[in-house]
Amino acid sequence: MDLQLSGRVAVVTGASKGIGLAVARTLHEEGAHVVAVSRTRTDDLPDKVVHVAADLMDPQAPARVVAAAVEEFGGVDILVNNAGGPPPGVTLPRVGFLAPDDAAWREMFEFNLFAAVRMVRAAVPVMLERGGGAIVNVSSTMGKQPSAMNVDYGAAKAALDHVGKALSEEYGPQGIRVNTVLPGAVLTDWWTKEGGAADVIAGMAGADKDSVISTVAPQMMRMVTGRLVHPQEVADAVALLASPRSGSTTGSEVVVDGGFLKEL
């Protein structure tokens, strides 16, 4: 299926690894001009993808990113707010409401909500000048499933879900569609890196890291597929929502979680 993305300009944040890298590659393969945003460039990005080095914890960074896209390609048609997860230097999961202090809460919201809000604020005027566009926010099923684990992260993602629907209501009549993708547990370095989620859960469950990834975590989360989600599976959903082929889809939440969420 032709996603009709050829020649469109896409900004993808958190594009150096995991879901963001898969999204950047996929949009590039579909013919889009891709501006990949991360602190450092990875060799895994295609050569023709333009990299903008930025720390989105810096309130001024989003405006610089959008300005770079305008200078390089003349505008922005697609914004994928993928940057998020544990802030730099933070390891999740973090168990218990009392675990994060005020500074941890602020840092979590800065990275998972305010960075996206600022990216949207910078991109919307440029999109309106081009007659519209598509925004896809990458949230998390944890925003829908309250838990004593990662409560600050879940709260930030729930807020991002709210913002997405509000933006869709305001800017849909002006040609900007806004949708949200909710991944579940995705096989990224959040899980696999040294000291990451798999190591933390292994210590809690008395298991080894490989068993956590292959068996313990999927069973613990009651994932009906029996495995963690692959980043490409999330990227495919993002690409479809960014495409004009989804022209009547806005304000939606697309879940890619291996069957973790069970509510109606």
> What share of the chain in percent tops pLDDT 70?
100
pLDDT-derived band at 183, boundaries 50, 70, 90: very high
Give the burial class of 102: count Cβ atoms within 10 A of its Cβ; 0-12 exposed, 13-18 middle, 19 or more buried. Answer: exposed
Task: Give residue 92's pLDDT.
Answer: 87
Active site residue 171: no
Spatial contact of 188 and 44, defined as CB atoms under 8 Å apart: no
pLDDT of 190 above 90: no
- Predicted confidence (pLDDT) at residue 204 exceeds the cutoff of 90: no
Cα separation of 192 and 197, whole Å? Answer: 7
Cα dihedral: 214, 215, 216, 217 (round 10): 60
pTM for the full predicted model:
0.96
Q: Identify the pLDDT of residue 89.
A: 86
* pLDDT for the residue 264: 80
- Per-residue pLDDT, 99: 94
Confidence of residue 185 (pLDDT cuts 50, 70, 90): very high
Give the mean model confidence (pLDDT) for residues 9-26.
Answer: 98
Give residue 110's pLDDT band: very low, low, confident or very high (50, 70, 90): very high
How far apart CA 141 and CA 181 sit, in angstroms, is 9
Q: Where in the chain is the domain with CATH 3.40.50.720?
A: 9-184+230-256
- Looking at residues 230-240, what average pLDDT do you find? 98
Q: Is the pLDDT of residue 114 over 90?
A: yes
Phi-psi region of 250 (alpha: psi -120 to 50; beta: other; left: phi over 0): beta
Predicted confidence band at 196 (pLDDT cuts at 50, 70, 90)? confident
- Range 225-238 average pLDDT: 98
- Residue-wise pLDDT for 81-106, tens only, equals 999 999 988 888 899 999 999 999 99
Catalytic residue among 73, 111, 114, 153: 153
Residue pLDDT, tens place only, 36-90: 999 999 999 999 999 999 999 999 999 999 999 999 999 999 999 999 999 988 8
User: Which CATH superfamily, name and number, covers 9-184+230-256?
Assistant: NAD(P)-binding Rossmann-like Domain (3.40.50.720)
Q: Over the chain, what is the mean pLDDT? A: 96
